[in-house]
């Protein structure tokens, strides 16, 4: 191999040229990359519209989410919609007045259809309870569904409450056997046991307890369309602490979904069945 | 004194040894990059997801990066192996390696915070721990070694054994 003498000046000159040539390689790579991506069947869009979500036992949300602080919330004539991503039991204890109930169940996604009817330019402010990242999951879902103008409230509901702003509550209501006896004809019973449970009240709808999924639409519509004035949530033995929790959970679920005539019966279901048979 | 330094430096940069060592380094880095780039090229969505895990690039630009970066790796690897614009491609390689080193360092530093969020319990924490030992540090060391190698090629390998050398000989003939 023939040797050619390299001086320091030549070397420096070549190093300098290498920077220019590097730009050449870079732009050539850009052309090849975009060209290949354009024709390749597995190609991706140039801009990603929403963050990646990593679904594990505990869903993590990656990327940047548009955050908004309390002091930057839109004021005056601007249209704002608040969306509460927490579960019903938290929602009924206190929520931002007028907030949509959009719980992010561990498995199921909420129905987003009503949001698509919102006027253009409406601000959507999502809030939740930080510890389970439900607000982050909801905002990612909205962004994936091409819903724009969404922001996450920094600090969640706790920040709203601590700032002394107005809070709305839907407290749970309980009724005794005597009241049930007096209003029996106006009551539709909501049985939270499994559908195959034995001994049912004849005027009852099955609404099984489930913390993972949203309630079935057909059950909700049956409850909505009932001519009965009151809904009473019942189970085998409501006095058992575990059963009472389930009763409260299901009643809260209905309450948060706009049913304001929901009551809990803490006693045993057999008392009602006996009353019905008499 | 200055002239003596210049003479010794020029003697050093004219050593034939640089071409052979440079070729070896070019082959190692080039093959590694081709091996790394190909799966990313055929699966840009997966690569984009991997980029998002680093939480460094804003999500909007993740796809852009997933499209461009593998091809930049592939083209630089090929030019490096064949000795075409050797210095330029090794310079880009060094830039990319520096970027990977910074990204990996951020991930390794952030691991403490990530495992402390309460979400990465059991399998998650275990995976992170494994990641730190088996992938994190070893990858970092591999990238640093390749960066040193790339720097050496940029400074001392003129692509004599390669297309650059052929072109120069053709030009001088």
Q: What is the 3-state secondary structure (H, E, C) of B23-42?
A: HHHHHHHHHHHHHHHHHHHH
**How much helix, strand and coil, in percent to the nearest 5, is found in chain A?**
40, 15, 45
Q: Are A145 and A172 in contact (CB under 8 A)?
A: no
ipTM score of complex: 0.85
A14 CA to centre of own chain: 59
Handedness of CA B135, B137, B140, B145 (dihedral sign): negative
- Predicted model pTM: 0.50
In angstroms, rounded to a whole number, what is the distance separating the alpha carbons of residues A180 and A29?
A: 76
Mean pLDDT of all residues in A67-80: 80
Give CA separation, A278 vs A272, B18, B29, B69, B70, in Å. 10, 103, 88, 78, 78
pLDDT of residue B111: 55
pLDDT of residue A65: 75
User: Which residue from B41, B63, B91 is facing A46, i.e. has the nearest CB?
Assistant: B63
Query: How, if at all, do strands A60-61 and A53-54 pair?
Result: antiparallel
| pLDDT band (50, 70, 90) for residue A56 | very low
User: Which residue from B16, B41, B63 is facing A45, i.e. has the nearest CB?
Assistant: B63
With 80 as the cut, is the pLDDT of residue B162 above it?
yes
In angstroms, rounded to a whole number, what is the distance separating the alpha carbons of residues A238 and A201?
A: 15
In angstroms, rounded to a whole number, what is the distance separating the alpha carbons of residues A260 and A224?
A: 11
For residue B86, the chain A residue with the least C-alpha distance is A18
With 90 as the cut, is the pLDDT of residue B98 above it?
yes
pLDDT of residue B123: 37
pLDDT of residue A57: 36
pLDDT of residue B125: 39
A29 vs B76: CB contact, 8 Å cut-off? yes
Query: Hey, which residues 97-116 in chain A have their CB within 8 Å of chain B?
Result: none
Query: Where is average pLDDT lowest: A223-227, B74-78, B137-141?
Result: B137-141
Mean pLDDT of all residues in A200-213: 81
pLDDT of residue A54: 45
| pLDDT band (50, 70, 90) for residue B129 | very low
With 70 as the cut, is the pLDDT of residue A190 above it?
yes
- The secondary structure of residue B117, as a DSSP letter, is S
Which residue from A44, A62, A48 is spatially nearest to A146, judged by alpha carbons?
A: A48
Question: How big is the CA angle at B28 (ends A22 and A37), to the nearest 5 degrees?
Answer: 50
With 50 as the cut, is the pLDDT of residue B117 above it?
no
B59 vs A63: CB contact, 8 Å cut-off? yes
B67 vs A5: CB contact, 8 Å cut-off? no
With 90 as the cut, is the pLDDT of residue A147 above it?
no
Query: How, if at all, do strands A174-175 and A187-191 pair?
Result: unpaired
- Please report residues of B whose CB lies closer than 8 A to that of A64: 58-59
B22, B71, B73, B128: which to substitute to probe chain A, counting the most A Cβ within 10 Å? B71
Mean pLDDT of all residues in A21-39: 95
Q: Are A153 and A68 in contact (CB under 8 A)?
A: yes
pLDDT of residue B69: 93
Mean pLDDT of all residues in A186-190: 90
B6 CA to centre of own chain: 31
pLDDT of residue B119: 29
B13 vs A44: CB contact, 8 Å cut-off? no
pLDDT of residue A77: 67
In angstroms, rounded to a whole number, what is the distance separating the alpha carbons of residues B60 and B4?
A: 55
Which residue from A197, A220, A205, A208 is spatially nearest to A250, judged by alpha carbons?
A: A208
With 50 as the cut, is the pLDDT of residue B112 above it?
no
The reply to whether A37 touches chain B by the CB within 8 Å rule is: yes
pLDDT of residue B126: 42
Mean pLDDT of all residues in B109-137: 43
């Amino acid at each position: 191999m023939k040797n050619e003498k390299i001086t320091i000046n030549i070397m420096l000159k070549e190093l300098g040229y290498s920077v220019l040539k590097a730009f050449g390689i870079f732009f050539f790579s850009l052309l090849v990359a975009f060209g290949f991506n354009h024709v390749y069947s597995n190609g991706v869009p140039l801009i990603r519209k929403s963050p990646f979500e990593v679904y594990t036992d505990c869903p993590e949300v990656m990327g940047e989410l548009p955050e908004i602080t309390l002091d930057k919330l839109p004021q005056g004539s601007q249209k704002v919609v608040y969306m509460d991503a927490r579960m019903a039991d938290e929602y009924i204890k206190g929520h931002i007045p007028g907030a949509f109930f959009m719980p992010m169940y561990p498995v199921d996604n909420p129905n987003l259809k009503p949001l698509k009817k919102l006027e253009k330019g409406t601000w959507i402010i999502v809030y939740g309870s930080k510890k389970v990242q439900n607000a982050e999951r909801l905002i990612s879902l909205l962004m994936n569904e091409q819903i724009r103008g969404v922001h996450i409230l920094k600090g969640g509901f706790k920040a709203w409450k601590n700032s002394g702003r107005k809070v709305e509550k839907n407290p749970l209501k309980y009724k005794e056997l005597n009241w049930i006896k007096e209003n029996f004809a106006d009551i539709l019973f909501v049985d939270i046991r499994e559908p195959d449970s034995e001994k049912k009240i004849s005027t009852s709808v099955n609404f099984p307890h489930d913390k993972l999924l949203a309630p079935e639409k057909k059950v909700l519509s049956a409850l909505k369309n009932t001519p009965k004035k009151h809904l009473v949530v019942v189970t085998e033995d409501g006095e058992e602490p575990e059963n009472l929790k389930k009763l409260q959970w299901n009643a809260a679920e209905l309450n948060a979904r706009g049913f304001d005539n929901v009551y809990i019966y803490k006693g045993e279901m057999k008392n009602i069945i006996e009353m019905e048979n008499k | 004194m200055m002239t003596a330094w210049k003479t010794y430096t020029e003697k050093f940069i004219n050593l034939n040894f640089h071409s052979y060592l440079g070729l070896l380094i070019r082959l190692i880095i080039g093959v590694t990059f081709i091996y790394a780039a190909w799966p990313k090229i055929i699966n840009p969505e997966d690569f984009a997801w991997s980029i998002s895990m680093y939480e460094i690039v804003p999500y909007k630009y993740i796809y852009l990066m997933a499209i461009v970066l593998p091809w930049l790796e592939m083209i630089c690897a090929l030019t490096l192996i064949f000795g075409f614009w050797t210095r330029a491609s090794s310079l880009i390689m060094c830039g990319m390696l520096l970027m990977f080193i910074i990204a990996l360092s951020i991930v390794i530093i952030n691991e403490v915070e990530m495992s402390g969020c309460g979400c990465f319990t059991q399998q998650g924490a275990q995976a992170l721990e494994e990641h730190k030992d088996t992938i994190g540090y070893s990858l970092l060391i591999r990238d640093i070694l390749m960066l040193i190698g790339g720097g050496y090629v940029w400074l001392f390998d003129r692509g004599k054994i390669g297309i650059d050398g052929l072109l120069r000989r053709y030009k001088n003939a």
